[in-house]
Amino acid sequence: DPSWGAFPARDALLQRFGILQQVAKGKTEKCVSEREGGDDAQSACVGALTGEKPRTVALICKPSALANYLLKHCWTFSNYSPCVGWTWRASAFLQSVYEACWPYESPVQFVRDNLQLSDDGLVALDWAVPSYQKRRRTSSHSTSPVLLIIPNSFGKITRNVLKLCEMALSHGYLPVVFNRRNHNSCPLTTVKLQQFGDPADLREAVRYIRYRQPAGRLYAVSESSGSGLLLSYLGECGSSSYVTAAVCLSPVFRCQSWFESGLCWPLQGALVLYQKICLSRYRTVLAETLQTDTLFSSHSLRGLEEALFCHNTSITWDAYWEHNEPLRDVDEVAIPVLSVCAKDDPIRGDAHSTVPLELFETNPHFFLLLTDRGGHCGFSTQSEGNSHGINWSHRASLEFFRATTDFFNAEERVKQIASRRRGLGGAAGGRFFRHRSVSTCKRVPACSHNIHAIYSWQRSYTR
């Protein structure tokens, strides 16, 4: 019975015998199956979005070696207990508003780098450090991984971002928050604002991060509508993105239709007002290039976006999104990307029409964790009160980074061993290998950020 998959005891029992249940295929259900060690077959359900009683969490992806590895080693993926019953945390709307608007007393402080861009514009990089740390700057010789965090496209630093920074620090990451022009008190030094899906500023910021921390791997997490910028960057840069793996938390995929359909009145009104407040400081200078009367009289997100980027140019609304839709270059993405979504997300909308399931079922680089409950960047759990506010989606993200890194390291070790055997085997089937000097078998250290060598379309995880 497929509904049996809703019970966590089932997973524990089957894991004990080395078997994951294979659920019968539904309308948009995919399963992977890999045979290992002779007669033992290993199967795993990797997605379900049917009208029948679903699992709490479904991993939807194309069958691959990396997908099998994630199913074996990412226990958080199947360990999600959303809040139910008569509590405000069970409401998708209330927990979404809470995570976006409620203040959070974070033990994290930020050190800001204002980065001047090639066109003299400014973006800000906020490096998160513990409040008790006396040394406010991290050494450039540090090998700690860097976690690049991209907030929502409106520039609001939410509880979700602050809690992610806190958790990342506790796991040894160096979190850095990317702030666009005019976002989060970043000065606007030119009249140019960043378009929704234009990754040019982010590309320069990533180069600066690589310059500051050349020895550490780079990971990326985006929140809400900020995922449009991350997906655009990964698509345009391909294997030259310098990012090891990425996670999108409650992403908005089809952004043009999202702007056109609009949100419910309280949410849309609040977001429009917040943007107007941020732009009002530069109203005089923006009047040189924009129709500010139209801009500040807009009552919708689409009206604001059109006033900022379309009215004073020859670009039509449809042409604007041809250059800014996040999935326009999705086939060029060359790293693993995990998306964490909830079916009851009140911001993104109905999962059947807003989540591109065909992308995850056909592209080996994309993975989708789809939960029944969770709201928008909420994912409150029943035990959250006893877990010091740790968010389930944050645990899943960091576990995904760890698992993908371990998988790549194992792949590189196998590759190096095979290369040494081919190079040192000798002409007579390895007969002279034991007489060679030990120095010929010296281990060659792998560069942690040799992106072109590590991430190619011939990687085994795309099998």
Amino acid identity, residue 135? R
C-beta separation of 6 from 56 below 8 A:
yes
Classify each residue of 236-263 as buried b or exposed e, where b means 16 or more C-beta atoms within 10 Å of its C-beta: bbbbebbbbbbbbbbbbbbbbebbeeeb
- H or E stretch at 128: strand 122-130
Rounded Cα distance between 243 and 454, Å, is: 11
Q: Which of 198, 201, 345, 394 is catalytic?
A: 345
Active site residue 365: no
Q: Which of 183, 365, 376, 394 is catalytic?
A: 376
376 is catalytic: yes
Q: Please report, for residues 15, 147, 214, 216, 452, the alpha-carbon distance to residue 447 in angstroms, rounded to integers and kept in the order given.
A: 35, 18, 10, 10, 11
Q: How do beta strands 57-61 and 366-371 pair? A: antiparallel
The answer to whether 190 touches 120, Cβ cutoff 8 Å, is yes
The SS3 of residue 158 is coil
* CA–CA distances in Å: residue 405 to residues 89, 410, 429, 455, 456: 33, 9, 34, 12, 15
* Alpha-carbon gap, residue 339 to 220, rounded angstroms: 12
Closest listed residue to residue 83, CA positions, set 350, 343, 373, 351 = 373
Active site residues: 345, 376
